[in-house]
Amino acid sequence: MLSEKLFSMDSSAEVSSLYGLVPRTSVDFTFKPTKRGHMAKQAHGKTAADYILDSTVVDPAGKVLYTLTSDAKRKKWTTICDATGAEVSRLDWDHMFSPRMTFRGGDEIKCKAFIPYQDKNKTKRWLQAGATANVYSWIPGEEDNHDMITPWDQPGYAVAIIKSNSRREIVCELVYEAFEAPEFIDALITAVALIYGKGGDLGRDLVVDGKDVMKILNGMATVASIASVL
């Protein structure tokens, strides 16, 4: 849903030199709190991230690329819409055991099936942008370090880094290669809302191991379909 025409491409920024990465041209997408999100941010402290459930995602020029809107208490639902107003994702939090969601008009799945863990250590997660899209690893940083998203078969080659700025706003730093996959940005924004907006509390944890991912890469299944039966 997001095309290169929706944001300024004249940024001279370079991707953070983390993990020994070679600097590449990048652009920052920043989660800016709406009025309700700003109130939540003030009420819960400077480090609270749940404000993103009522926020806009803007490019360096200030253009709104996504809008996240939730119910009054952020306990029932959150919708994520793109710059045209089309719904990218709907997150339904009001379920007894596991929140549910839809992504880009697809079938309803459990939120935890969208970003399942890779192993029992519950650190790295899988992220798949769509049924035919590449599979990515979400590697969390420790404490204030930045999270890194890499293609599963290119560890250390970040296509996105999740960080915070001086105002404690969440920022997605994306290298331009990331825009070659049309669904990736939609999936990334949705995953940020799940992981940061709810602190990753998506019900009983799911683990999808490497053997299952090979089935996914061979077109025999998707991350969500495997996770749904675990």
- Grouped pLDDT means (10 residues each) for the chain, 230 residues: 36 44 76 73 56 93 95 88 96 86 89 85 81 81 78 86 88 86 89 82 63 55 56
How buried is residue 30: exposed, middle or buried, by Cβ count under 10 Å (0-12/13-18/19+)? buried
In a domain? residue 66 = yes
Q: Which residues touch 184 (CB under 8 Å, ≥6 apart)? A: 129, 133, 134, 136, 159, 178
Amino acid identity of residue 28, one-letter, is D
pLDDT at 222: 63
pLDDT at 189: 95
In a domain? residue 213 = yes
In a domain? residue 13 = no
pLDDT at 224: 60
Quote the strand ranges of 114-189, DSSP E.
125-128, 135-139, 147-151, 160-164, 170-175
To which residue do tokens 């940005």 refer? Answer: 185
Q: Quick one: tokens of 156?
A: 């250390």
Phi-psi region at 172: left, alpha or beta (left = phi > 0; alpha = psi -120 to 50): beta
Q: Are 27 and 114 in contact (CB under 8 A)?
A: no
In a domain? residue 10 = no
Q: Quick one: tokens of 32?
A: 């800016």
98-108 residues labelled b (16+ CB within 10 A) or e (exposed): ebbbebbeeee
In a domain? residue 2 = no
- Residue 72: how many other CB atoms lie within 10 Å: 8
What CA–CA distances, in Å, run from 137 to 7, 126, 223? 25, 5, 12
**Residue 190 φ/ψ, nearest 5 degrees:** -65, -45
In a domain? residue 17 = no
In a domain? residue 148 = yes
The domain in which residue 167 lies consists of 24-227
Q: Residue 160: which of 169, 62, 170, 84 has the closest Cα?
A: 170
pLDDT at 82: 96
Which ranges of the chain would DSSP assign to H, the alpha helix?
35-44, 111-114, 184-197, 210-217, 223-227
Say how far apart CA 60 and CA 204 lie, in whole Å: 37
pLDDT, tens digit, for every residue of 121-132?
878 888 887 665
What's the total number of domains in the chain? 1
- pTM tops 0.95: no
In a domain? residue 18 = no
